[in-house]
């Protein structure tokens, strides 16, 4: 069974203008990362310039919503447009402008976080010893050092970019860290 998600886009007036349902891979390491890749560097404008344009731009949030659908909906199934009254799913994402800045937040499975804006260039890098994952929820006895460009740390998870594994977006369960919270080492501050 898939991990279902909803992605809502709000316009500048706070109205939901798009509710996009995704049937599978809706978790932050899947759909969340894909949303970050799509939105990162996006410039929201008011009008279309005839001169030089940013590489990624949208003429308002309505234009961004249309681009989002065009980006993800590539064939039959998988993604659907739902009414804005649709019930929440396992993970729910919200794209909106806050104080002139494009933001992406999520919540689901008793967790929540901000994926955009990203942490500034003075990102916090942490290291810890973590068991190797064979498949979701199945760990080996082989522990490896992880170097993470941290995006967020909650009570239960560290979310960030795994610098030891092709810069993949990952979430690590703190209770699985060898030695627990006391063994999370900050490389830079």
What averages of pLDDT result for each successive group of 10 residues across the chain (189 residues)? 92 96 94 93 80 78 97 97 96 91 89 73 77 67 81 85 75 85 74
Give me the pLDDT at residue 49, please. Answer: 67
Question: What does the pLDDT read at residue 125?
Answer: 82
For residues 78 and 164, state if they share a domain.
no
Indicate if 20 and 102 belong to the same structural domain.
yes
CB half-sphere exposure, 71, CA atoms < 13 A: 15
Same domain (yes/no): 158, 105: no
Last residue of a domain, one of 61, 92, 116: 116
Q: How much is the pLDDT for 188?
A: 63
CA 130 to each of CA 22, 111, 173, 186: distance values in angstroms, whole numbers, following the listed order: 31, 21, 9, 15
Shared domain check, 72 and 16:
yes
H helices present in 12-74, as ranges: 33-39, 61-72
Do 20 and 90 fall within a single domain? yes
> What does the block give as tokens for 43?
């410039």
Write down which residue in 65, 86, 116 finishes a domain. 116
Domain hosting residue 174, numbered range? 125-186
Same domain (yes/no): 60, 16: yes
Cα diameter, the chain: 59
Asked which of 79, 97, 116 is the last residue of a domain, the reply is 116
For residues 60 and 99, membership in a common domain is answered with yes
**C-alpha closest to that of 38 among 81, 73, 82:** 73
Beta pairing, strands 138-153 & 125-135: antiparallel
For residues 106 and 134, membership in a common domain is answered with no
Distance CA 85, CA 82 (A): 8
Q: Which pLDDT value is given to residue 143? A: 82
Q: Are 116 and 51 in contact (CB under 8 A)?
A: no
In this prediction, residue 118 carries a pLDDT of 63
* Whether 143 and 173 share a structural domain: yes
Q: Within this chain, do residues 59 and 134 fall inside the same structural domain, yes or no?
A: no
Query: Which residues are bridge partners to 7 per DSSP?
Result: 20, 93
Distance between CA atoms of residues 103 and 28, nearest Å? 15
For residues 133 and 101, state if they share a domain: no
68 CB neighbour count, 10 Å cutoff: 22
- Please state the domain count of the chain: 2
pLDDT for the residue numbered 53: 64
Q: Where are the beta strands (DSSP E) in the chain?
A: 5-10, 16-22, 43-45, 57-59, 79-81, 91-98, 101-108, 111-116, 125-135, 138-153, 157-162, 168-173, 185-186
Q: Are 93 and 22 spatial neighbours (Cβ–Cβ below 8 Å)?
A: no
> Are residues 147 and 55 part of one domain?
no
């Amino acid at each position: 069974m898939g991990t279902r998600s909803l992605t809502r886009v709000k316009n500048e007036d706070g109205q939901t203008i798009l509710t996009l349902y995704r049937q599978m891979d809706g978790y932050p390491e899947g759909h969340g990362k894909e949303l970050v890749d799509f939105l990162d560097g996006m410039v929201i404008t008011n009008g279309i310039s005839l001169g030089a344009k940013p590489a990624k731009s949208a003429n308002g949030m309505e234009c961004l919503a249309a681009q989002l659908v065009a980006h993800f909906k590539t064939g039959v199934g998988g993604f659907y447009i739902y009414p804005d009254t649709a019930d929440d799913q396992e993970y729910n994402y919200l794209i909106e402008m806050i104080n002139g800045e494009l933001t992406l937040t999520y919540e689901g499975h008793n967790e929540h976080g901000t994926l955009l804006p990203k942490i500034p260039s003075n990102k916090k890098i942490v290291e810890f010893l973590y068991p190797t994952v064979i498949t979701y929820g199945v760990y080996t006895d082989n522990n490896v050092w992880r170097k993470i460009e941290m995006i967020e740390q909650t009570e239960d998870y560290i979310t960030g970019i795994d610098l030891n594994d092709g810069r993949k977006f990952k979430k690590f369960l703190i209770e699985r860290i060898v030695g627990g919270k006391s063994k999370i080492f900050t490389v830079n501050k």
